[in-house]
Amino acid sequence: MLDLSHARNRMVEVHLSRRGIHGREVLNAMREVPREAFVAPGFEEFAYEDGPLPIAEGQTISQPYIVALMIEMAEIGPGDHVLEVGTGSGYAAAVLSRIVERVYTIERHAGLAETARQRFQELGYDNIEVRTGDGTKGWPDAAPFDAILVAAGGPGAPLALQEQLDVGGRLVIPVGDEPHDQRLLKVTRTGAATYSEEDFGGVRFVPLIGEQGWPESGNRIANDRPSGRARTRSLPEMIAAAAEPLPDFDDPAFGKLFDRFGDRRVVLLGEASHGTSEFYRARAAITRRLIEKHGFTIVAVEADWPDAAAIDRYVRHRPPRANADPPFQRFPTWMWRNSDVAAFVDWMRHHNERIRLSSRLAGFYGLDIYNMSGSIAAVLQYLDRVDPQAAKIARERYGCLTPWQHEPSTYGRVALTSGYEKCEQAVFEQCRELLARQLDYAQQDGIDFLDATQNARLIASAERYYRIMYYGGAQSWNLRDTHMFETLEHLLEARGPNAKAVVWAHNSHIGDARYTEMGIVRDEVNIGQFCRQRFGDEAALIGLSTHSGTVAAASDWDSEMEIKRVRPSHNDSYERLCHDSGVSRFLLDIKRDDTLRQRLLERRLERFIGVIYRPETELRSHYAGASLSQQFDAFVWFDETVAVTPLGPEHVGTGVPDTYPFGL
């Protein structure tokens, strides 16, 4: 059975308090009113998620945060009389009624008005009056009002509503030149015929239909808007003006556009999916430029360390490990075993062949945590060579992990018993001893020491990861990204004080988590956040995304790869804004235009496709709220994209290395 009381309290704490709603009366009212009573049947379990939900007549019940924000903006209190325009489900009026003396609410749809009236009666909210009519005209016989809240977006603040405010009264209303692109305004009546305005940022509401709003056709009525307000550019128009079009990937001008980030210590390059060719090709072009022209020597990717180490040996002209399996054989193989990655790896090898100076060779490294079995094998192989006695002890210590090496997630089930503590301690001891012998080992095999020590760290982190993933919450994600960031730090330290790194990872890892649902709602951290906190302006966070096309993805974990059609981006998403700009591929340097940066602070949906893609549930499974200009420093856009081409036997003899490093 759903614990809706708990969900309601969590909504207040997570979606409201953490996002800046602090008014005690507002928070208490939101805790009191049962939102599940106002949603359509079947949507009760979603009542306390921070998103709008559909109701009858093509209308919506606003997300809880917007309801709370507008009420807090109105500065209402006990004894006040408030007008609401756009009753809808009745939820906002119900919340208002728990704070003020009297609520008057107008709804143009008679069915919605009657349903809301019945809900108020059932809940015993007897200080609300409901009327069916044109809300843009207000409720003259109940005026003046201490506050008026409008739950629909108009072309301007209707004069009738402004005139029905008491002096000192506040009108909160979305306004904009387009029916679905608005700014949230607070209009305060300062005198008999004087008003002041405050802008609280972008929002999206259904159109305000009426004599002083929009007609049913959606076109603005002439002369219904206060004079003196000049037309402002829409957000897609602002994006189009700031967008720097991208040439072909092989054109040197492509990489040159990113010279502005060449002086950074770390450049993080994202992707909106793990199976889109344009993202890999763009990152390759940018990285080639950073390596050739700006001295970057570290390419650190969202991949397992042992698998990436095999690639690193290839690109730095070192022989493969004896009896080693080909890398990237586990699900999802297409993520790194694809033609775009193979082409970039081949370029790195040829680049390093020209350089030859070891300190300037570009290396390919994995940041991720998953491959415990590969990491254990690498540590043992190293110890067999440099310290056979240590290898024997390590085998005993790692023995407690052996039953779960090939299906490490099952370790979490066993970890709930007391036995895991002994294993955890043994892993830490092994890692500490390996690090303590750094000087001794480095004299014997200095080149491989970083590889061995990182594998030891990985095993310790992975042991904890597969244990805590069964406790739920944000711990497993946070441990994983903490491990990945610490690995990046170790790489920079190992390559010297002037080392610079490029990171390839999903947008969910490289965009600052503090400005997405990850950090706001789920208390999750990520590499992008850590890099900003550690390196400040020496870190550049660059997201990549798309509107539609195809993607390589699976329907379930460990199932077959499919080429899937990416649905066109959601109307309320940042992706749709980029699509509506009309520029097919571009770089958006967010910090170059402060007005645009301010507009992109607004929290909107953003799409995240990993190795799993389920178009049928896309809105709930692949979208999350974010503030783009706080999440990223720049954004790379491709309106139409195609899936990666996975490597297989058919690629042998076509220029891709036929046996090493991919083992085709």
> What residues contact residue 393 under an 8 Å CB cut-off, 6+ apart?
430
In DSSP notation, 164-215 reads: TEEEEEEEEEEEEEETTEEEEEEEEE-SSS-EEEEEEEEE---B-BSTTSB-
Relative to beta strand 501-504, strand 603-607 is: unpaired
| Backbone φ, ψ for residue 491 (5° rounding) | -65, -45
Two tokens, residue 609: 């496709």
At 456, the amino acid letter reads A
Query: Which residues fall within 8 angstroms of residue 388, CB to CB, at 6 or more apart?
Result: none
Is 236 in contact with 581 (CB distance < 8 Å)? yes
Phi and psi, residue 102, nearest 5°:
-145, 140
Cα 35 to Cα 30, 43, 61, 206, distances in angstroms: 8, 10, 10, 20
Q: Residue 99 phi/psi, 5° resolution?
A: -115, -40
Query: What is the C-alpha to C-alpha distance for residues 449 and 455, in angstroms, rounded to an integer?
Result: 10
Per the listing, tokens 């009519």 go with: 133
In Å, how far are 10, 168, 181, 267, 329 from 156, measured between CA atoms? 35, 20, 12, 43, 59
Residue showing tokens 């405010």? 165
Asked if residues 516 and 626 have their Cβ atoms less than 8 Å apart, the reply is yes
Do residues 566 and 579 lie in contact, with contact meaning Cβ atoms separated by under 8 Å? no
50: left (phi over 0), alpha (psi -120 to 50) or beta: beta
Rounded to whole angstroms, how far apart are CA atoms 162 and 173?
11
Q: Cα(180)–Cα(380) distance, rounded to whole angstroms? A: 61
- From the list 5, 62, 508, 581, the catalytic residue is 62
Does residue 62 carry a catalytic annotation?
yes
Comparing C-alpha atoms, which of 424, 434, 354, 444 is closest to residue 394? 434
- Cβ(148)–Cβ(164) below 8 Å: yes
Of 224, 220, 162, nearest to 195 (Cα)? 162
User: How many Å apart are CA 663 and CA 652, to the nearest integer?
Assistant: 10
CA nearest to 199, candidates 178, 184, 179: 184
Distances 409 to 66, 95, 130, 445 between C-alpha atoms, Å: 40, 45, 56, 33
State both tokens at 513.
Answer: 């988590």
- Closest listed residue to residue 272, CA positions, set 538, 631, 593: 631
Catalytic annotation, residues: 62
